[in-house]
Amino acid sequence: MRLAPLRTDDRGRVSELLIATAAFSADEIGVALELFDDVYGQAEPSEGADYEFVGAYDDAGRLLGYACFGATPATEGTYDLYWLAVHPAAQGRGAGRALVRWVEQELERRGARLLVVETSSRTDYAHTREFYARGGYIEAARVRDFYAPADGRIILTTRLGAREVGVATR
């Protein structure tokens, strides 16, 4: 597996893998593709874009998954991990963990101090929450009924810099 910035021609595969996960609504997929288009809508990625993308590619160059992250406006050293998606056929093989770790290391290199992830409280997102917990993310806040009735927003965070993976930090 190779990690690298997404390419303009990855848009179709991004759409395909978001649909294949069956985790995202049509509106959510539309937002994800809108962010992609904001950065990759021209021939080259926009310099200084609010969003950055990294992809996990197999040996044949096929996109297995991707992460989208960016600086949180009006904060000092805080970033959001906006999207993490791995095609179901590639899940469980380390692509998601590799993508998150790449983002964390890149942000540590930049001197960032906090990475924030937002996810759903629905039961079908339990695996997602466990994935982040194994990586040292802790629940920082919960907003009930945020996305829809019985679908709350869970905000997870991890401190960047000197930390042990798998150990919750505040």
- Note the pLDDT of residue 42: 63
The secondary structure of residue 90, as a DSSP letter, is G
What is the full per-residue pLDDT of the chain (170 aa) written as tens digits?
999 999 999 999 999 999 999 999 999 999 999 999 999 886 555 566 789 999 999 999 999 999 999 999 999 999 999 999 999 999 999 999 999 999 999 999 999 999 999 999 999 999 999 999 999 999 999 999 999 999 999 999 999 985 544 444 44
Residue 11 near residue 30 (C-beta atoms within 8 A): no
Domain count, the chain: 1
Domain hosting residue 92, numbered range: 2-159
Note the pTM of the prediction, 2 decimals: 0.88
**Predicted local distance difference test score (pLDDT) of residue 43:** 54
- 156 vs 59: CA distance, rounded Å: 32
Q: In the numeric block, which tokens belong to residue 117?
A: 């992830």
Q: Is residue 67 part of a domain?
A: yes
Q: For position 64, which CATH number holds?
A: 3.40.630.30
Query: Could you tell me if residue 170 is inside a domain?
Result: no
CA distance 134 to 18: 23
